[in-house]
Amino acid sequence: MGNRPIRILCAVGALILAWELSVINALQPSSTFARDQADDPADENRQEGSGGMRRPLTEDEMVEQRRQELLLDFNDPPSLDHGESVHPRLMQTVKDNTIGVRYEEREAYLRVLRLASEVPLRRQEQFAAEIRTERRTLNPSYKRRRPDEFPQFADLFTHPEFYRGRPVTLRGVMRKLTKFELGKNKLGLDEAYEGWVYTSDSQGNPAVVIFTSKDDQLPVNGDIQEEVEFTGYYFKMYGYDAQDVTRKAPMLLAGEVKWIPHPYKSAYKPLGFMWYFLATLGFLLTGYLVWQANRKELPRRPPLEIEPDFRHFPPMEHPAPSPLLPRSMTETEDS
């Protein structure tokens, strides 16, 4: 009898301890769940209040999360088709109509720029020609035009989604070229050039081309007039400020830009041989007519009424005085 209360107290204590352990295990998350929560970079942003309710990610948070995944897990080549287009996953962080190149776009920006410098230019031009032909077949209004009249800039500007990550060839006048540093990166890219190019069908709107190699005769200057041609991968619609108005321009990333030299030409078209022959013939004919007019005899002047006699000089009517004869007072007198 004396040991019965002790056994009851021990049993009650054991039950209480087992209940506390079960409550603690129920409150603690599993190891897998805890590990997933620790690896989630947006976990703190999804908590609201003391209830721990999760909220959906904003667009900027989703872009940042994709950028982090791209930096950590993207080991695929930047192109799945050997340079015909950029890997779609690499372009997930790129957003159109934004000012400049955003921080989350930098990784894709550098990788596409590296791809443009590695893929041979001849292959890029071939891919761009095939894409241009595809656009002509898709749009009936383009079929009536000759292939060399295809409005490449206008089609790129109005249908950028079709050209996303694909090579495009443009030819125009470069009016601005600057050189800048790319900063520290793992791709070995140190510096690049930024050019503003105006094509014949751009209607005063520029295209921005970023490239890593240029012709030595292409000057780096903020005010130039040089004709160029290049093929690069369309990256995004690049926003920029122009006279207190935000505008957009297609941005292309290329490996190199071709400089097209133009010798100075005369403002007037040179005359042909026929014009020189006619001018010479006219000059000779005019000279002949003038000579014929001058060789005719002039009419004789009519004779004078009194013919002077020049047989004796001076005339005898007024003989000169002899210096040996004395002169009269009248002739020597001072008047």
- Torsion angles phi and psi, residue 289, rounded to 5: -65, -40
Top mean pLDDT of 88-102, 223-237, 275-289 is at 223-237
pLDDT at residue 328, rounded to an integer: 60
User: Hey, is 290 helix, strand or coil?
Assistant: helix
For residue 229, is pLDDT > 90? yes
pTM of the model: 0.60
Alpha helices (runs of H) in the chain, residue ranges in sequence order: 4-27, 31-39, 59-73, 106-118, 121-138, 140-143, 152-158, 160-163, 273-294, 329-332
User: Hey, is 31 helix, strand or coil?
Assistant: helix
196 touches 206 (CB < 8 A)? yes
| Class of residue 195 by CB neighbours under 10 A (exposed 0-12, middle 13-18, buried 19+) | buried
Average confidence (pLDDT) over 184-200: 93
**Residues whose CB is less than 8 angstroms from the CB of residue 160 and which lie 6 or more positions away in sequence, other chains included:** 96, 234, 236, 237, 250
**Residues whose CB is less than 8 angstroms from the CB of residue 206 and which lie 6 or more positions away in sequence, other chains included:** 175, 196, 197, 198, 249
Q: CA angle at residue 146 from 140 to 152, to 5 degrees?
A: 75
pLDDT at residue 149, rounded to an integer: 84
103 touches 63 (CB < 8 A)? no
Other beta carbons within 10 angstroms of residue 190's beta carbon come to 11
Q: Supply the Cα-derived Rg of the chain in whole angstroms.
A: 49
Q: Where are the domains of the chain?
A: 65-259
Q: What is the pLDDT of residues 83-136, one digit of tens each?
A: 999 999 889 889 999 999 998 899 899 999 999 999 999 999 999 999 999 998
Rounded-to-integer distance, Cα 172 and Cα 313, Å: 94
Rounded-to-integer distance, Cα 64 and Cα 59, Å: 9
CA dihedral 82, 83, 89, 94 (to 10 degrees): 170
Alpha helices (runs of H) in 146-272, residue ranges in sequence order: 152-158, 160-163
Least confident window among 1-15, 35-49, 264-278? 35-49
